[in-house]
Amino acid sequence: MDTKIINDINDTTLTEAAETIKSGGLVAFPTETVYGLGGNALDPTAAKKIYEAKGRPSNNPLIIHLAEPEDAEKYCYTNEIYYKLAQRFMPGPLTVILPKKDIIPYEVTGGLETVAVRVPSDPVAHRFIELAGVPIAAPSANLSTKPSPTMAGHVIRDLSGRIDMIIAGDDCDIGVESTIITLSPKAKLLRPGLITVDELREICPDIEISDAVLNQHTGRPESPGMMYKHYSPRANVVLLCGSDEARYEFLRDKTDCGILCYNEDTELLRYRYAKAVGSKSSPKEQAKNLFARLRDFDEIENITTIYAPMTASEGIGLAVLNRLIRAAGFEILDI
């Protein structure tokens, strides 16, 4: 399949992209979190094509993207808390899970009775969804198990030849996927993101945090995506748990390995395969760069292991740590 890449983004080209969605095609598009791979959420065949293009297991449900928070009314059973969350955080990087209405096919929800909804704030995403006039089901626009795409180039590399169109916009501002909260049956954080637990608590004081956020899951987790290997570059990622000094000492003879570190780790940045993810004091910067840095290691042919620090778990740091732990397949070394 020939994939059309749209570099010149305007109402004419976005209308063409919207038409592609309406006629059952797949279009990758930028959002404020990561790039999404979109298809018509009302069309079971489009959902199947999404799973196929990504190589994603079809019991891992898709998030549906809406132009306005009120549009959720058509696709799921909303409640008061949904509207309180919407008023505070939408449009923006928050996904809310609610009981689905019949119009949403089970192909989109991986067979579940609930559906995940999100209203992106990115202006290109917003206009594209508005022009499509249908909800857009979109997982991240990467091949399944790879780090999520935060730059148009990542999407082009993973999905060229597999989908109809790629809207090649700017780099994503946030860099990690949306915060996911389920309200069905009660408020629970399933995936951390830019919107933090403390912020959610202001609206849902009783919010629980799923065990799967930082722990390896046995049995069926609340969010099927948490079962799978995820965010992984080609080389094996290992997290190092210990002081900065212990990390420097441990890595002293690891000159052949990939090293993910902080801007402040000048000691490590002298190594051949060291890359900085951002300042140690800025989890926000780490979030923005994390997936791009993990992908950079794929360009270095001869490394088989990448060592990364256990990052701080407060605020958006929890989102960074959640992704890193999965990238490492839960391999954590006490040093």
Q: Site residues (CB under 6 A) for ligand AMP? A: 60-63, 97, 109, 112, 114-116, 139-140, 177, 180, 190, 222-226
For Mg ion, the closer of residues 173 and 267 by Cβ is 173
Name the binder of 114 from Mg ion, ligand AMP, none, CB < 5-8 A by kind.
ligand AMP
Q: How far is the CB of 206 from Mg ion (least distance, A)?
A: 28
* Residue 109 or 140 with smaller CB distance to Mg ion: 140
Please say whether the beta carbons of 279 and 139 come within 8 A. Answer: no
C-alpha span between 60 and 62 (Å, rounded): 7
Residue with tokens 């094996």: 236
- The site for Mg ion (CB under 5 A) is made up of 140
Q: In terms of CB distance, is 61 or 92 closer to ligand AMP?
A: 61
Q: Which is closer to Mg ion, CB of 95 or CB of 140?
A: 140
CA distance 55 to 199: 34
Which tokens sit at 257? 């390995």
Minimum separation from the CB atom of position 246 to Mg ion (A): 32
CA distance 20 to 30: 16
Cis peptide before 91 (omega within 30 of 0): yes
Residue 186 CB-density burial (10 A; 0-12 exposed, 13-18 middle, 19+ buried)? exposed
Rounded to a whole number of angstroms, the minimum distance from the CB of residue 7 to ligand AMP is 25
Nearest approach, Cβ of 34 to Mg ion (angstroms)? Answer: 8
The item of Mg ion, ligand AMP, none sharing an interface with residue 109, based on CB under 5 to 8 Å by kind, is: ligand AMP
Q: Which single residue is written with the structure tokens 């002081």? A: 243
Residue 180 Cβ vs ligand AMP, minimum distance, rounded to whole Å: 5
Measured from each CB, the residue nearest to Mg ion is 140
Alpha-carbon distance of 42 to 44, in angstroms, equals 6
Q: How far is the CB of 11 from ligand AMP (least distance, A)?
A: 27
Q: Nearer to Mg ion by C-beta: 140 or 184?
A: 140
CB 4 within 8 A of CB 25: no
Name the residue among 236, 237, 218, 238 with its Cα closest to residue 333: 238
Bond into 205 cis (ω within 30) = no
The bridge status of strand 258-261 relative to strand 305-309 is parallel
**Cβ closest to ligand AMP, residue 226 vs residue 251:** 226
Q: What are phi and psi of 190, to 5 degrees?
A: -100, -30
DSSP state of 145: T
Nearer to ligand AMP, 98 or 276 (CB): 98
Q: Least distance (Å) from Mg ion to the CB of residue 159?
A: 13
Task: State how far Cα 262 lies from the chain centre.
Answer: 22
When CB distances to ligand AMP are compared, the closest residue is: 225
Q: Which of 14, 49, 46 shows the shortest CA–CA distance to 30?
A: 14
CB nearer to ligand AMP: give 119 or 240: 119
Sign of CA dihedral 170, 174, 177, 181: negative
Query: Smallest gap, in angstroms, from Cβ of residue 148 to ligand AMP?
Result: 7
